Amino acid sequence: MHPCGDFRTSYRADMTIFPTRASAYACVAGVLLLAAVPLVFDIYVLTLLIQIGYYGVAALGLNILVGFTGQISLGHSAFFGFGAFASAWLNNRFGIPVLLAIPLAGLMTAAVGVLFGVPAARIKGLYLAIATLASQFILQDFFARADWFTGGSAGAAAAPVAVGGFAFDTDQRYFYVVLVAVVAMYLGAANLLRTRDGRALVAVRDHYLSAEIMGINLTRYRILSFGISSFYAGVGGALFGHYLGFVSIEGFDILLSIQFLGMIIIGGLGSIMGSIMGTAFLVLLPEVMETAVKALAASGLGQMQAVADGIVYFKEMAIGLAIILFLIFEPDGLAHRWRQTKAYWKLYPFSY
């Protein structure tokens, strides 16, 4: 954290990923702390963290598309699913080691994403949303029909990650695979935004006209952002597939696409850290609600007929409510709240 009154004085300092040495240490310490989780916590916690991991990678991809480039996609879960199938297929069909199949699946998904991103070259806003909705349904239909690729309604088996003779087949072991992937993908995104191409993406979002007169090829970058976003979705999906060990054609529906949108809206559009914060929020919220609902059912209130009937819906309603409340009270997302909290403590006990 920056000490109060210590301002950045050079442009170089403005652009670093870690503003102070302490923040770099804090980040490393955070990763190390996470690496120690399997030694301390039980499977339940690990399962949740792994879920946050693979959804977080995919959500980051959507954030690059929506938050940084200003496009929209209602078909993100289809790309997530495509990555899962692609990785399983590459492994089953060609015997490519899973560890290699995961990034390759990402590249395959990126290629598909570029294909479905082509409409973005010509249309914007709501129209683009509808066009991406088409990609959702086309891919879902493809999953159901392409037996050679997905195994059709039977689904596809996905082998666990193995290096040499060592298989990452338990939650404790797989956790590390996901952790490494998440760190690599997040560092990749943080660096992407400091490059020439990253700046071009943000310029396309903020002022496509002024981006264009600076010689930025709008078509190229809009499609590129679909490619990058699909790459992230594909890797996330592959991690998901090899975690479950089995990929079914169900589950990659529009609901999941909307959940991805919910994650980045709650986390903060255009924020890298926000992507994982929002994912954590949406993964943990149902768990918290589950506990709350159980407590409610056990209490005297649960004996009332009306409450007992409605109790199963509480969970779903809570998620919807959370998204609405976030849009009203914190449209900039959790990442913004986090920055404000930091600023508050930096200046404590003064307000500003």
What residues make contact with other proteins under the rule CB under 8 A?
7-11, 13-15, 196, 199-200, 202-203, 206-218, 270
**214 or 327: whose CB is closer to other proteins?**
214
**64 or 283: whose CB is closer to other proteins?**
64
**122 or 294: whose CB is closer to other proteins?**
122
**67 or 83: whose CB is closer to other proteins?**
67
- Alpha-carbon distance of 312 to 284, in angstroms, equals 17
Q: Nearest to residue 81, comparing CAs of 110, 114, 109?
A: 109
Name every residue whose Cβ is closer than 8 Å to that of residue 48 and which is 6 or more positions away in sequence. 283, 284, 287
Min CB(330)–other proteins separation in Å? 18
Classified as helix, coil or strand, 338 is: helix
Please, are residues 18 and 26 in contact by the beta-carbon 8 Å criterion? Answer: no
DSSP single-letter state for residue 103? H
**153 or 210: whose CB is closer to other proteins?**
210
**8 or 294: whose CB is closer to other proteins?**
8
Min CB(216)–other proteins separation in Å? 5
Min CB(113)–other proteins separation in Å? 23
Min CB(167)–other proteins separation in Å? 45
Number of helical H runs and strand E runs in the chain: 16, 4
Cis, peptide link before residue 286, omega less than 30° from 0: no
Q: Tell which phi-psi region holds residue 270, choosing left (phi > 0), alpha (psi between -120 and 50) or beta.
A: left
Backbone phi and psi for residue 163, each to the nearest 5 degrees, phi listed first: -120, 120
Min CB(344)–other proteins separation in Å? 19
Min CB(38)–other proteins separation in Å? 38
